[in-house]
Structure formats: structure tokens, C-alpha cells
Amino acid sequence: MLDLDPGPYGFYVWTSYGLSAAALAWLVISSLGFARRWRQRAESLETRAREGEGRGGDAP
Amino acid sequence: MTQALAFLYNPHRFMAFSAWAAPLFGALALALAAAGLWLGFAAPEDYQQGDTVRIMFIHVPAAWLGLFVYVCLGGASFLSLVFRQALADAAARAAAPIGAVFTALALATGSLWGKPMWGAWWVWDARLTSVLVLFLFYLAYMALRAAIDDEAKGARAAAILALVGLVNVPIVHWSVEWWNTLHQGRTVFAAGGSRAATVFLVPLLLMSLSYMSAFGALWLVRIRGEVWRRRAAAAEARLAR
């Protein structure tokens, strides 16, 4: 049976768990966002760079 | 050992490895947290600390990870500084915000545990103060990297700072032995074996493994982001030519 009532210590226990959950959620969201943002930017720039080099190669 | 880790030096191999390893660590972290939280809230109240003992299941793993991540940051900084490994520098940079968050959580949850048990939110105790110094090293590392425009110079300066900060790691660990502190002494890794009751030790170890797996997943994801960021910078340089 789970004991989810910390009695007089509720504020301390639940604030600790709430803070930890919020901080870990922020870490997950910011890390995934950081990776996704740079992946999209890198892929877009690499495509443009390849296209630019392709055109440069065709030039006389 | 070097040979075993050599595949990670290659960004292409690293990206292939991390593409499946990061979600695996993430799933493992969730499963371990579910088991750890279940057992943690099923455990009886501590005879002295009452229900506040449940803060231990998130405070101790955060504190351990704060220290462990700093060792990873120092190791990656060493590889970056001495062997000029670009991926090691990316790993160091990616570790800093994660370690800072774990250390901040250790300080915050410790304070929330300290108030009802010690009667104070904060005391200038050797353990608390050395963990605060650890947190400041993380902040200084990130600030230094952000402050120097030349990325290579910023990486070198920050790596030196990270190595200097390694001196604080044994101080944090041994502070409860070297000084007479209000913070309790080593419990899980005490000489002669753990002093914690099994009913508390099992959820604590499960939550610690969960935090460790979460760090593994987050670190890999952030290193991947760093690799993409550098690839974007290289493509931008090619376009500018």
C-alpha cells in the first residue's frame, strides 16, 4: 500500500518532488529541442551548400 | 579501454550509436523511476525523520549525479584539452547544464529536507558549502564558454576551469569525514557496508540508477545537438566562401 500522505511534512515532500519533476521535464524538453533545432538547421544549410557546390562545379 | 572507446571519437559512429542508445536509456530511466517511486512510497516512515525520509529518494541521486556529471565533464575536458578531441569537447559542453540542474536539485531538495529536520533552510556546513561551490563551477564553466566569442579559445579556457574544479570533487565526497558537519556522514557507501535499512536502500538505488540512465539519455541527446550545431557552422562557413 502506498503512503501518499506525508502528514505535517507534505509541503517539504511534495515541493521536493514537484521541483525535481519540473527540472527533469525542463531538461528533457530543452535537450530534445536543442538537438532538433540544430539538426534542422544543419540539414538545411548542408543541402544549400551542396546545391551551391553543384552549381559551382558546372561553371566553366 | 582506449580501443573500446575509440568508436566514440568518430562523430559518424557516435551518431549511429547514440540514435538507439539515447531512447534506450530514456526508457530504462522511466522504468526504474516507476519501480523506485513505487517502493519509495510503499516504504514505512522513518522512526526519526517520519515522511521526510522520502525526500532522500530524489535528493541523494541528484547529489550523486551532480558529482558524477562533474567527473564526466572533467574527463571530457581533459580529452579535449590534451588530445584535441572535438567530440570530447562537445561532450563536456553538453554535460555542464545537466550537471548544473542535478546539483541545483540536490541543493534545493536538501534545503527542503533540512528545514524540518535541522530547523534551518541552509547552514554553512562543509558538505553544503562544497556542493554550492560545485554548482558555482558549473555556472562558471557555462558563463566562460558563453563569454568568449572564439569557440576554440572558449573551449580551452573552460576545459582548464573544469580541470581546476575537479579538486572540489573529493572535497565534496569526503567533507563529511574531514570536518564535523551537520550533514549526516556516508550511509550507503559507509566503511563496513551500507548503514541504510534495505527497505530504504532498494528504492534509493533504483532511483539512483534511474537518474543515471536519465543522464545517459540526456547527455547523448545534447551531444548529438552539439554535433549538429558544429555541422551547421561548418556548412555556413562553406556557404560563405
DSSP sequence for B62-110: HHHHHHHHHHHHHHHHHHHHHH--HHHHHHHHHHHHHHHHHHHHHHHHH
pLDDT of residue A60: 41
How many angstroms separate the CA of residue A59 from the nearest CA in chain B? 16
B24: pLDDT strictly greater than 70 = yes
Q: Is residue B229 within 8 angstroms of chain A, CB to CB? A: yes
pLDDT digits (tens, 9 = 90+) for B218-236: 999 999 999 999 999 999 9
**A29 CB within 8 Å of a chain B CB:** no
| Mean pLDDT score of chain B | 93
**Partner-chain contact B45 A48, CB within 8 Å:** no
Residue B240 in any domain: the answer is no
Asked if B67 and B169 count as a contact pair (C-beta separation under 8 A), the reply is yes
pLDDT tens-digit series, residues A1-17: 888 899 899 999 999 99
User: Which site among B218, B219, B223, B226 would you substitute to test the A interface, given the most A Cβ atoms closer than 10 Å to its Cβ?
Assistant: B218
Residue B118 confidence (pLDDT): 94
Chain B CB within 8 Å of residue A16 CB: yes
**pLDDT score of A59:** 44
- Would B33 be classed as within a structural domain? yes
CB proximity list for B114: less than 8 A, separation 6 or greater? B120, B121, B122, B123
- For residue B19, the number of C-alpha atoms closer than 13 Å in the C-beta half-sphere is 7
On whether residue B214 sits in a domain, the answer given is yes
Residue B224 domain flag: yes
CB atoms under 10 Å from CB of B122, counted, come to 14
Is residue B175 included in any domain, yes or no?
yes
Q: Does the pLDDT at position A58 exceed 60?
A: no
- List the Cα angle B85/B87/B88 in 5-degree steps: 65
Strand partners, B133: none
- Which residue type is seen at B195? R
pLDDT tens digits along B59-90: 999 999 999 999 999 999 999 999 988 899 99
For chain A, give every domain's residue range: 31-60
Residue B68: give its domain's CATH number. Answer: 1.20.120
Helix (H, G, I), strand (E, B) or coil at B184: coil
Query: What value does the mean pLDDT take over residues A29-50?
Result: 96
Q: What is the pLDDT of residue B126?
A: 94
Residue B7 has pLDDT above 60, yes or no: no
Chain B nearest-CA residue for A40: B228
In the predicted model, what is the mean pLDDT of chain A? 90
Using one digit for the tens of pLDDT, what is the confidence trace for B28-58?
Answer: 999 999 999 999 999 999 998 999 999 999 9
Q: For B156-211, how does the pLDDT look when each residue is reduced to its tens digit (9 = 90+)? A: 999 999 999 999 999 999 998 888 888 888 777 777 777 788 999 999 999 999 99
- pLDDT at residue B192, as a whole number: 76
State the residue range of the domain holding B139.
22-230
Residue B4 has a pLDDT of 52
CB B56 within 8 A of CB B200: yes
Q: Is the pLDDT of residue A23 over 80?
A: yes
- In tens, the pLDDT along B101-158 reads 999 999 999 999 999 999 999 999 999 999 999 999 999 999 999 999 999 999 999 9
Identify whether B53 is part of a domain: yes
Do B45 and A3 make contact, defined as CB atoms within 8 angstroms? yes
Average pLDDT value for residue range A31-37: 98
When divided into structural domains, chain B yields a total of: 1
